[in-house]
C-alpha cells in the first residue's frame, strides 16, 4: 500500500512538473508581458500593506500591536499564501470545468487529475505576491524587538512552509466542494483570499469566537498567529500553551490528509455534465 501511494505521488509530481513547465515556457515566450504582469501583481498586493500603513498614520498600535509586529504577521501570511497561490491557485477554476464538461478531458489522461488541475494555467506572475510578502517580512524582522534564538530562527521557514501547506489544503478542499456546488469559487475565495486578509491583523482585534473558529475549526491561526505570538513573546488570546507554536507542520499534514480525502470523495461523485 505504501509503495503504491509513493508511486502515485511520484506520478502526480511528474505530471504537475510537466504541465506547469509547459505554462512557464508559454509565459516566458513573452518576457516583457511577464515582467509587466509580475510587477502589476506585486503592486496590487502591496496596496494591502499600504492600507495598514495608512491606519498607523492615525494610531500608534492596532489591538496593542505596533506596526513592525503587524508587518510581521502580514509578511508571514502573505508569503505563505503567495506560495500556495503560486503552486495551486488554479484550483478555483475547477467549478468552471465541472460546468462546461472540460474536466472530462483530464479524466481520460494517464495522469492524476489533482496534479493536472493544480498545474493548469500555472501563473508565474504570482511570484510578485510572494516577493512582496517576503520583502515585508524581511523589513519587519529588522524592526521587531525579539531575542533571537536558534529555535525562533528555525521557526521562521518552518512557519512559512507549513502555512503554505495549510493554504494548499484549503484550496484543495474548496475545489472538492465545487464538485457538489459547481459554482462556489467565491465561497472558496472567502476562505483563501479572505483567510489571508484576516491573518494580516492581530488576533486581539477580533472577537474570541472568531479566534476560536480559526484555531480549532479551520486552523488558519497556525499559519502565523500562534508562531508569531511565540516569537514576539505575546500571550495568545485563548491562553493556549506555547508549544503549539511548533504545531504548524503537524496541522499542515493533517489538513492536507483531510483535503485529499475530500478530493477523492468529490472526484468519485463526479458524473460529468450529462450532455
What is the tens place of the pLDDT at every residue in 118-172?
A: 998 898 889 999 999 999 999 999 999 998 999 999 999 999 999 999 999 999 9
Among 169, 147, 145, 158, smallest CA distance to 72 is for 145
Separation CA 170–CA 77 (nearest Å): 14
CB 114 within 8 A of CB 198: no
66: phi then psi, degrees, rounded to nearest 5: -75, 170
Among 261, 8, 24, smallest CA distance to 110 is for 8
Q: What does pTM read for this prediction?
A: 0.93
pLDDT band at 62 (very low <50, low <70, confident <90, very high): very high
Mean pLDDT of 230-238: 93
Rounded (5°) CA angle 94-257-217: 85
All three cell numbers of 79, joined, read 508569503
Separation CA 246–CA 137 (nearest Å): 19
Residue 180: CA count within 13 A, CB half-sphere: 11
Least confident stretch, 50-64, 174-188, 189-203: 174-188
Amino acid at each position: 500500500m505504501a509503495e503504491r501511494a509513493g508511486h502515485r505521488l511520484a506520478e502526480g509530481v511528474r505530471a504537475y512538473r510537466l504541465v506547469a513547465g509547459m505554462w512557464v515556457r508559454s509565459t516566458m515566450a513573452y518576457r516583457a508581458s511577464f515582467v509587466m504582469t509580475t510587477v502589476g501583481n506585486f503592486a496590487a498586493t502591496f496596496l494591502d500593506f499600504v492600507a495598514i500603513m495608512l491606519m498607523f498614520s492615525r494610531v500608534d498600535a492596532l489591538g496593542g500591536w505596533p506596526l513592525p509586529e503587524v508587518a510581521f504577521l502580514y509578511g508571514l501570511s502573505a508569503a505563505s499564501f503567495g506560495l500556495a497561490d503560486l503552486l495551486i491557485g488554479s484550483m478555483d477554476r475547477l467549478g468552471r470545468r465541472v460546468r462546461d464538461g472540460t474536466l472530462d478531458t483530464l479524466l481520460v489522461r494517464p495522469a492524476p487529475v489533482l496534479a493536472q488541475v493544480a498545474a493548469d494555467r500555472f501563473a508565474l506572475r504570482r511570484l510578485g505576491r510572494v516577493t512582496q510578502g517576503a520583502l515585508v517580512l524581511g523589513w519587519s524582522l529588522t524592526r521587531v524587538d525579539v531575542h533571537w534564538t536558534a529555535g525562533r530562527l528555525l521557526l521562521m521557514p518552518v512557519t512559512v512552509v507549513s502555512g503554505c501547506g495549510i493554504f494548499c489544503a484549503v484550496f484543495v478542499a474548496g475545489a472538492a466542494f465545487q464538485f457538489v456546488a459547481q459554482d462556489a469559487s467565491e465561497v472558496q475565495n472567502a476562505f483563501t483570499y479572505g483567510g489571508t486578509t484576516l491573518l494580516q491583523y492581530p488576533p486581539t482585534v477580533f472577537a474570541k469566537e472568531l479566534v476560536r473558529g480559526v484555531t480549532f475549526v479551520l486552523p488558519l491561526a497556525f499559519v502565523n498567529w500562534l508562531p508569531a505570538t511565540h516569537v514576539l513573546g505575546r500571550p495568545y488570546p485563548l491562553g493556549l500553551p506555547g508549544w503549539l507554536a511548533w504545531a504548524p507542520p503537524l496541522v499542515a499534514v493533517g489538513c492536507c490528509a483531510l483535503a485529499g480525502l475530500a478530493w477523492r470523495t468529490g472526484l468519485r461523485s463526479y458524473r460529468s455534465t450529462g450532455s
